[in-house]
Amino acid sequence: MDTSRMPGEVTGVVLAGGKSLRMGRDKAGLAFRGRSLLDHMLDLLAQGGSDSCVVSGLYPGYRCIRDAAPDGGPIAGILAVAEALPGRRLLFVPIDMPLLDPRLIRRLLTEAPHAACVRFADFALPMRLDANAVVRARLHAIARESGRRRSVRALQTALAVESLSLGAGDTAAMINCNTSAEWDGLTR
């Protein structure tokens, strides 16, 4: 068996269901390299090898899945997508990580092919997740929690996440932008 290829098709998911309160404006509409950040992230997933893509959130003109609970954070988006696409292999990227590159996405898709949950060491996102029954049950349990127990990291701990190493130059690609100052610093 060729373990360099992962089983089944992969749906790429842009987590964009938040309110962007710290940014002060919707992150998905920010201009990045001549187009919207949402379009950039969807293209990144396609270039990285996702067979199809969806957006966690509501954006007219895009294939979207509404978050399971308003103000539920990333777990609400992950849960909603896993429930809408049961049995699928999913690859989640946050809307605010524009420097990711297709090579890193391909690594998440191909390495540790039999793990139910894969991320890069020290980073909760991006993350590959199998939406099987066990994973969905854990997601429901995490979604009922509060505080840090209702987090992507808590989910990953519950699922015994497989962590991939990053090269020295790769950590710069993992920068996310939550505030206008961070965005301005990144796009200068």
**Which CATH number goes with the domain that contains 119?**
3.90.550.10
- Residue 16 lies in domain: 10-187
Which is it for the CA torsion 83, 59, 154, 123, positive or negative? positive
The 10s digit of each residue's pLDDT in 18-31 is 655 566 567 888 88
**Where are any strands of DSSP class E within 2-130?**
10-15, 31-32, 35-36, 52-56, 64-65, 89-94, 117-120, 127-130
Instruction: Please report whether residue 156 resides in a domain.
Output: yes
Distance CA 185, CA 162 (A): 32
Mean pLDDT of 110-134: 96
pLDDT above 50: residue 5: no
Domain annotation covers residue 3: no
**Does the residue 5 lie in any domain?**
no
Predicted TM-score of the model (pTM): 0.90
Is 123 domain-assigned? Answer: yes
Over the chain, what is the mean pLDDT? 89
| Residue 164 parent element (H or E) | strand 162-164
* 46-74 pLDDT per residue, tens: 999 999 999 999 999 999 999 878 778 89
**pLDDT higher at 181 or 152:** 152
Does pLDDT of 4 surpass 70? no
140, part of any domain = yes
For residue 6, pLDDT beyond 50: no
CB 13 within 8 A of CB 52: no
* Cα–Cα distance, 71 to 83 (Å, whole number): 18
Q: What is the CA radius of gyration of the chain?
A: 15
Q: Mean of the pLDDT values across residues 139-145?
A: 94
* Number of domains composing the chain: 1
| Per-residue model confidence (pLDDT) at position 20 | 59
pLDDT reported for residue 86:
96
Query: Span 109-138, mean pLDDT?
Result: 96
Residue 1 inside a domain? The answer is: no
DSSP 61-80: TS-EE--SSTT-HHHHHHHH
In a domain, 142, yes or no: yes
